[in-house]
Amino acid sequence: MDSAGSSETDAPEAPTMMSVKIVIGGGFGAGKTTFVGSVSEIMPLTTEAAMTEASRGIDDLESTPNKATTTVAMDFGRVSLEKDLVLYLFGTPGQQRFWFMWDDLVRGAIGAVVLADTRRLADSFSPIDFFEERQLPYVIGLNCFDGVQHHGVDEVRDALAIGPEVPIVPCDARDRESVKQTLITMVGYAMDRWVATHGAPVP
């Protein structure tokens, strides 16, 4: 082998950067915008609109009395998990009248986090159905409002009627490390699902 050839071979390979899209879903006020904002390395794009008197009686504000805004289109953020893996996060709107956006938001995603407020678990049914219908891998992030987990992981699994394979991760949407751990679980689960379905490593 000539010297020119060998120097080419010896040159360290530049790491291949991989970027993936993840959707953050969940019921109204489950903490989706907070989740994206606390982990994003860029100033998150948000589409918050003030909640008006007109929403009283339609939106359940009992569990989040200080909530003054709601997402009307999406949240967008970016976080690097490893030096060669970048996640693009798309938070969905929680109010049912904006759910027509969800079909566009999930396009191209490798998986989803369903944020659940354990005081209002029933709000998670529709998001779970949505991701199951589309066969998109999802994990449940149990957002512990006020640091309290009102139900254990097994209770939540029973209540939501989800299989034993779906990871349920207690988290705090306001805490960057906690959000990061939830995302790591999501990516690992999506990769496992890929291997199980395709019988081959993730490309």
Ligand X SMILES: Nc1nc2c(ncn2[C@@H]2O[C@H](COP(=O)(O)OP(=O)(O)OP(=O)(O)O)[C@@H](O)[C@H]2O)c(=O)[nH]1
Positions touching Mg ion (CB under 5 A) are 32-33, 71
Give the shortest CB-43-to-ligand X separation in angstroms. Answer: 16
Beta strands in 83-189 (DSSP E): 85-91, 111-117, 138-143, 168-171
CB of 192 to Mg ion, least distance (A): 29
Q: Output DSSP code: residue 161.
A: T
Token couple for 27: 């019921």
By C-beta, is 71 or 185 nearer to ligand X?
71
Identify the H or E element spanning 49: strand 48-50
Whole-number Å distance between alpha carbons of 202 and 48: 36
Chosen from ligand X, Mg ion, none, partner binding at 29 (C-beta under 5 to 8 Å by type): ligand X
Q: Could you identify the residue written with the tokens 């960057």?
A: 176
For ligand X, the nearest residue by Cβ is 94
Positive or negative torsion for Cα 109, 121, 45, 167: negative
User: Smaller CB distance to Mg ion: residue 33 or 178?
Assistant: 33
Residue 185 touches which member of ligand X, Mg ion, none, C-beta under 5-8 Å by kind: none
Q: Decide whether 71 or 178 has the Cβ nearer to Mg ion.
A: 71
Q: What are phi and psi of 168, to 5 degrees?
A: -120, 120
Shortest Å, Cβ 172 to Mg ion: 16
Bridge partners, 21 (sequence order) = 88
> Which residues form the interface with ligand X (CB under 6 A)?
26, 28-34, 64, 66-67, 70-71, 93-94, 143, 145-146, 172-174
Least distance CB 98 / ligand X (angstroms): 9
Residues, the chain: 203
Q: Which is nearer to ligand X, 28 or 138 (CB)?
A: 28
